[in-house]
Structure formats: structure tokens, C-alpha cells
Amino acid sequence: CTKMLLPGVMLVLCTLGLARAVTKNVPQSVGSVEDVDVGGQAMPEYFSAGTHETTHTQGSLQVPGSVAPSCGDKGCPLALFLTCPKKAGGAAPNSYPLVVFYSGFQMSAATYRAYARDLASWGYVVLQYDVPGALLKKIVPDQEEIKFWPHLIGWVKDLSRQPGSVVYEAVDLRRVAVMGHSRGAKLAALVAAGGTPDGSPAPAAAVCVDPVDMTSQTRKAGYPSAVDALGAAPRRLALIGAGVTGWCNPEDEGWRKFWPALLPGSWRLVLPNAGHMQFTDAKGATAWAWDKLCGAGKTGAPGNSHKPIIQWTSAAAVAWLESAFRPEQASAPLAKYQAFIKEQAAQGFVQFEIKGKSEACLENSDACPTPALTAAAVQ
């Protein structure tokens, strides 16, 4: 069954026999955005789309075989997807930070497109990619895949220099972040910990959504532990975790393992009613199958259990990135967001902590450290 973790009907073959046995910690209460008590106040703006209309473009990139030998001598052809503010190409130079988003194991970029649209509406350029393969994608070892980083950044750099492109002169490559889910969150953590080759700058901010560090299939060469990497090169990052654990996100390899390795100032948001695959934009039978395999909490309307989890996660990601890249203009929205999160945590809808500064930050946003920007720029 572990070799059949792919979207669609094939999952049913696994779920029929395994779901009940592997899922645990499923909460009985509902914790969606629609259900929380906001005390008569409007929801913090980060829970809604930003002010930018969005657009997207596609491209391709051939990662050399010397970087990705698992793909063969000709290398690894990537399908690239860029989502950005609609008028980015006509904006002032270096207006928008870049976010590189890593997908989960065997998941396509489309499964996370909701995050790309949300971030782009807040003034971010979001790059996603797919490795070769339709139903079964090429398995590239972690140690190889993190070496895609300078090639991905280089592709955006080249595109931003092309007159008429959707991001012409608009991307600020001094402000680069990384985000991912599941195995993609592990890759994001590895890159954030300095796993980029050739002196490429590490990202200035990182968001890790329900990361999974190691499995029985990845305890071998080519699959380093992200927690070990963070232990050697600690970073502040935003950690978002599922309260429902099971087959897909073992408790001892998930966010609980990552949290001790992070620097003070890191955020930890746990959604008690979230299952591992409820962070994806899967729908219909695919979403049902994933939820049966990986476990799911009771959120949102029937058949739409993923939307509120994505909404909470996007809001946290936007808040963290704004604190990193636009701290002055975001000070008021951030204070409102933190006050809201504190209230929801008090009611048990979520768990939220700012490492080493929890109470001070929740009472006074000025006391909260923000992610430090890297001095190195992509030239």
C-alpha cells in the first residue's frame, strides 16, 4: 500500500483495509472557520483573499543529470507553474517576494493551487513544479531534489528579465521564502536549513505544513533527516500541524519532532480537527479516499472538509510571510491576527505558540521576533 499513495480511485484498495487500523487522535468537535466564535468582530483579513487579482503561467525546466542522476543522463524535466499578481509585470521593480512551494509525496502542484492563489492575492509570486509522471511520478531522492533550488530560482530570475512576461522586473529575489506540505514540508525545512548547493542563498522565511521527516522507506542514503539538519543549522519558521495522526503522518515523525529543533520566535499552529490530507485541495472521490487513508477531523460542510483547513493554513502562512517581508505595513493586521488566534486557542479551536515568546507575543505583537532576512541576494 505504501507504493500506492497517489490520487484517485487506486487509494480505495488501501483504504478499505487500513483506514480504521491506522488512524488515531481523531477529535470529535468541529473547528472550522465557519464555526468559531469571533465575538462579533470581523475575521482577520488574512483569512480572505488579498487585494490583488491573480494570474498564472507555465514553463519547463531541464535539471541536469549531474544534479538529478536518478532521472537519467538527460536529467529531470520539470513542469513549472507560476502564480502571481495579475499586473505584476507592470508593477514597480522588485515589488513581490517569491515563494517556492514543494508538493507532498506523489502529489501534483495542482493539489496545492489554492495556496498559490491565496498567496498571490497578497502580493507574492509562487513557483510550483511537477516532476515527470502522470499517475506515478518519478521518485527523486530528497538529497537530489533540494539541489533543484538554484535552478528554480534561476528560472524565475530569467523570466523576470523578459520584457512582457507576467513578472517582468517584479520579483524581489532578495526576499525568497519556501513552503511545503508533508514530504514537501521536509524539503522546505532542508532548504531552509541551508541545504542549497553552490552557495545559493537560503530562503529568508519558511512555512512547513504537517511535515513528515522520515519513514521506513526513507531511512537510507539520499534521504537526510530535516530535523537533524535544523539541529545543525537552527532556523525560525512557521510550523502548522494536524491534530489527527495516522498512517500518513506518524506522530513521532511529524510536527512534534520538528518543534524542538526550531529557534525561538518560531510559530506553531496545530489544527486539532485537521487530517494530514485535509491540507490539500483534493476534491470529490479523491478527497474522500485520502481522508479515509490518512484520517480526517470533522470540519466544514460534508464533502467540503478541506476548505476550512486550507483557509486556516493560508491565513497563517500569509501572516508569517508578512511578518518577514512587510513587518511595518503589516503591524496592525498581524496584531489583529494574533489576538484572534489567542482567543481561538483559549476556546480550544486551535493550539498556537510562539516559541520562547508565547505570552509576550500574544499580549504584545511588538515583542514578537520576526524571521530574519538573509543578506545574500540572487545576483
| 3-class DSSP state of 56 | strand
Q: Does 373 map to a domain?
A: no
| Predicted structure pTM score | 0.85
Q: Which three cell numbers stand for residue 14?
A: 488501501
Do residues 333 and 340 make contact, with C-beta atoms less than 8 angstroms apart?
no
Q: How far is residue 236 CA from its own chain's centroid?
A: 15
Amino acid at 344: Q
Q: What is the pLDDT of residues 106-126, one digit of tens each?
A: 889 999 999 999 999 999 999
Q: What is the pLDDT of residues 173-219, one digit of tens each?
A: 999 999 999 999 999 999 999 866 666 767 999 999 999 998 766 56
338-377 burial, b at 16+ Cβ within 10 Å, e below that, comes to: bebbbbbbeeebbebbbbebbeebbeebeebbbbebeeee
pLDDT at residue 377 above 50?
A: no
| 3-class DSSP state of 78 | strand
How many structural domains comprise the chain?
Answer: 1
Burial tier of 301 (Cβ tally within 10 Å: 0-12, 13-18, 19+): exposed
Q: Which three cell numbers stand for residue 221?
A: 542514503
> What percent of the chain is modeled with pLDDT above 70?
77
Do residues 138 and 145 make contact, with C-beta atoms less than 8 angstroms apart?
no
Sign of the Cα pseudo-torsion (322, 328, 331, 333, in order):
negative
Q: Does 233 map to a domain?
A: yes
**CATH number of the domain residue 91 falls in:** 3.40.50.1820
Strand order in the sheet with 125-130: 54-63, 76-85, 125-130, 96-102, 171-181, 205-209, 238-242, 267-271, 351-354
Q: Does 5 map to a domain?
A: no
Q: Does 202 map to a domain?
A: yes
Range of the domain at 260: 19-366
Q: What is the pLDDT of residues 57-80, one digit of tens each?
A: 999 999 999 998 988 989 999 999
Q: Does 357 map to a domain?
A: yes
* Of 40 and 170, more confident: 170
| 3-class DSSP state of 363 | helix
Q: Does 10 map to a domain?
A: no
Q: Does 3 map to a domain?
A: no
**Which parts of 103-244 are beta strand (E)?**
125-130, 171-181, 205-209, 238-242
Q: Does 29 map to a domain?
A: yes
Q: Which residue has the cell 523570466?
A: 159
